[in-house]
Amino acid sequence: MRKAIQNLEESKIRDVANAGLGRSDVLAFWFGESDEVTPDFIREAAIESLRKGETFYAHNLGLPELREEVARYASRLHGDVADDRIAITSGGVNALMLAVQMLVDAGDEVVAVTPVWPNLTAQPLIMGARLQRVSLTPSNGAWTLDLQRLLDAITPFTKLLIVNAPNNPTGWTLSRAEQLAILAHCRKTGTWILADEVYERLYYEKSENGCAPSFLDVAAPDDRLVVAHSFSKSFLMTGWRLGWLVMPPAMTHNMGKLIEFNTSCASVFTQRAAVVAMQRTDEVTPRIVAHLKTCRDTLVPLLQAVPGVELQGAKGGMYAFFKLGGFDDSLALAKRLVAEAGIGLAPGNAFAPEAQGWLRWCFASKDVARLEEGVRRLANWLGPH
């Protein structure tokens, strides 16, 4: 067995969730998904496809109709994106892995902005790359980027920069000025950018297109840029395992080959559902975002009022990331909260060593009262400690 695989860390989020297995009294906020089911009309499209007998392999790059819909969707948000730059993938995580397989050789230098969803840092390690983390800096419960430190870390030897914004878990978002500076720098060093923009629509600040700033807004089609997306978060489709990539047109043919050797294709009936999700996005996504904003605006002030909590409201994403004064070990704390308070949170050190002592709370809850009850439990548990 390869050492790189043996050395991969197991998921600390799973570790906490396993501690709560079979306990229906635990309020679970540990995973990054809503507890709301996929809208009916999207599910119906999949059922109809199966009824018609669409049970066969599809094109490596995805159904042409879906690639066209995705290109139209991306163009509406970011200006012209041609369908020959799109590949449909088996989830956002598969999109990211394919991009890393495409770009990273064993021994290559990869820079990642952290804290970040652990899959993003595991993938280059699987390829045998050398990973350099550039940490955001926490201050009063908010995480910010030291841009110069990031630019200094990216040299002509850096093959790939991995950046996820809006960020899971911190909610940090790249500004337009930072994107422009990073792009200009990476053009000079010849570094590829892998932008994980799966939370672009879950953005709570004012913007013209209802999206967080995207690298697609500022890059040319031929730039060394690959953007990873997912149907999971903006369409309530986590279990469907569908995502997509936007890449330079010259890469697409080779991406098709790589998909062949990974998954061959995404299933047709899920892609049929995704076509409908894209066509009717205005019936789905704005409602989800409005609800998530209500969730954030309910949870954040309640948590901020708990003594010892350090937290700022996230600009994007679906997480409250906070520090609880007096507790240094996130994993031990998260396990105690499951066992003793009946709340399931993700430990901060699952996302980076520098987030030790922090906790992630996914606020995508259909019923806002669950969030209120969660904070009540946390405050009660903290009371006598």
Ligand X SMILES: Cc1ncc(COP(=O)(O)O)c(C=O)c1O
267 counts as binding ligand X under rule CB under 6 A: no
Binding residue for ligand X, selected from 232, 267, 271, 285, defined by CB under 6 A:
232
Binding residue for ligand X, selected from 230, 270, 271, 365, defined by CB under 6 A:
230
b/e string for 41-73 if b means 16 or more Cβ within 10 A?
ebeebbeebeeeebeeebbbbbbeebbbbbbeb
* Cβ-based neighbour number of residue 35 at 10 Å: 14
Q: For the CB of residue 370, give the shortest distance to ligand X in the complex, in Å.
A: 19
Q: For the CB of residue 355, give the shortest distance to ligand X in the complex, in Å.
A: 14
End-to-end CA distance of the chain: 46
User: If we measure between CA atoms, which residue out of 374, 359, 378 comes closest to residue 12?
Assistant: 359
Q: Could you tell me how many residues of this chain bind ligand X (CB under 6 A)? A: 13
Binding residue for ligand X, selected from 164, 173, 214, 267, defined by CB under 6 A:
164
Residues 37-66 that bind ligand X (CB under 6 A): none
Binding residue for ligand X, selected from 93, 98, 247, 334, defined by CB under 6 A:
93
Q: Which is nearer to ligand X, 91 or 357 (CB)?
A: 91
Mask: binding to ligand X, 171-200, rule CB under 6 A, as x and -? -------------------------x-x--
* Type of residue found at 197: E
Residues 20-39 that bind ligand X (CB under 6 A): 32
236 counts as binding ligand X under rule CB under 6 A: no
Q: For the CB of residue 351, give the shortest distance to ligand X in the complex, in Å.
A: 10
Q: Do the Cβ atoms of 146 and 137 come closer than 8 Å?
A: yes
Q: Do the Cβ atoms of 236 and 43 come closer than 8 Å?
A: no
Structure tokens at 189: 């060093």
Mask: binding to ligand X, 108-137, rule CB under 6 A, as x and -? ---------x--------------------
Q: For the CB of residue 237, give the shortest distance to ligand X in the complex, in Å.
A: 8
310 counts as binding ligand X under rule CB under 6 A: no
348 counts as binding ligand X under rule CB under 6 A: no
- Give the number of residues written for the chain: 385
**Which residues share a beta bridge with 131?**
110
* Type of residue found at 100: V
User: If we measure between CA atoms, which residue out of 87, 60, 92 comes closest to residue 243?
Assistant: 92
Binding residue for ligand X, selected from 118, 138, 171, 243, defined by CB under 6 A:
243
| Residues contacting 26, CB < 8 A, separation 6+ | 20, 338, 342, 343, 344
User: If we measure between CA atoms, which residue out of 185, 119, 120 comes closest to residue 147?
Assistant: 185
Q: Which is nearer to ligand X, 350 or 378 (CB)?
A: 350
Stretch that binds ligand X, among 50-58, 89-97, 248-256, 322-330 (CB under 6 A): 89-97
Q: Which is nearer to ligand X, 158 or 168 (CB)?
A: 168
Going 296 to 331 to 351 to 4, the CA torsion angle's sign is: negative
Q: Do the Cβ atoms of 323 and 355 come closer than 8 Å?
A: no
Structure tokens at 347: 């430990």
92 counts as binding ligand X under rule CB under 6 A: yes
* Type of residue found at 320: A
- Which single residue brings its beta carbon nearest to ligand X? 92
* Coil/strand/helix, residue 263: coil
Query: Would you tell me which residues interact with ligand X (CB under 6 A)?
Result: 32, 91-93, 117, 164, 168, 196, 198, 230, 232, 238, 243
